[in-house]
Amino acid sequence: MLAGKIMLESSAETYRVEDTMNRIAHSFGQKNPQSYATPTAINFSVDLMEPAIMMRIEKRTTDLNKIAEVNSVSRKIAEGQLNIEEALEALQTLEGQKFIYSDKVMVLIAALASGSFTIMFGGMWADFLPSLVAGGIGFIGFLWFDKLVEIRFISEFVASFIIGLLAILFVETGLGVELDKIIIGAVMPLVPGLHITNAVRDLLAGHLVAGLSKGVEALLTAFAIGAGIAVVLAFL
């Protein structure tokens, strides 16, 4: 259950979560473990005739490092390198670890990615710096508002709103050239690429409930980003 919880909170695909839980249970002698995961909850039973345990997943982020670490623990269990106490201790230590990157590093990466995406989408080099600044400040707004409110979609709306305002400011003052290219590049760090990928992979794996729910989540995120930009453009 702890392994599944860490993976779901780190945005792993649900079929991977279920597979990992079942493999760990098999490795510790359970013949017919039953696991069922959705983006917001896990149900697990060691056998068909045993009662199921349910755990809610309330907060989710993207941390591929933790997913890889849980998979590593799972492989060590399957190979007999860890007993159940050692495995539990390793997972508890992993659960307590903070995000691998600090907020400053994430803002720097988001800013550089914003400028790079602007060039990749056909923008001019004159728009690289405006997009870099807009993307970086917008991501700061996203991180700050995400800690202030629990609703992630509002944070994404605020971030895109800030990006839209800054993009218009840069173009109006002559520091930027193409408004659309600056906006497109700056919002890319907010785009839910991992959620879209996971939704497709879950659907292809036959996990229809999880796939559809992740697809809707990605759609709402895209709507929040688009709405933030649309509100700014509406007042031009």
* 79 plus 111 within the same structural domain: no
Q: Which of 78, 96, 114 is the last residue of a domain?
A: 96
* 115 plus 156 within the same structural domain: yes
* pLDDT score at 157: 93
Q: Which of 96, 112, 132 is the last residue of a domain?
A: 96
* 221 plus 133 within the same structural domain: yes
Supply the pTM of this predicted model: 0.80
Chain centre to alpha carbon of residue 215: 13
Residue 108 pLDDT > 90, yes or no?
yes
Give the DSSP H/E element, type plus range, for residue 35. Answer: strand 34-38
* 179 plus 214 within the same structural domain: yes
* 91 plus 108 within the same structural domain: no
Structural domain of 118: 103-234
User: What is the count of structural domains for the chain?
Assistant: 2
Residue 130 pLDDT > 90, yes or no?
yes
* 110 plus 150 within the same structural domain: yes
Interval 31-57: pLDDT, tens: 899 999 988 899 999 888 888 899 998
Q: Which pair of structure tokens corresponds to residue 53?
A: 């345990």
* 41 plus 79 within the same structural domain: yes
* 176 plus 224 within the same structural domain: yes
* 71 plus 163 within the same structural domain: no
* 143 plus 228 within the same structural domain: yes
Interval 138-193: pLDDT, tens: 999 998 988 888 778 889 999 999 999 999 999 999 888 899 999 999 999 998 88
* 169 plus 217 within the same structural domain: yes
Say if residue 113 is exposed, middle or buried (CB neighbours under 10 Å; 0-12, 13-18, 19+).
buried
* 166 plus 186 within the same structural domain: yes
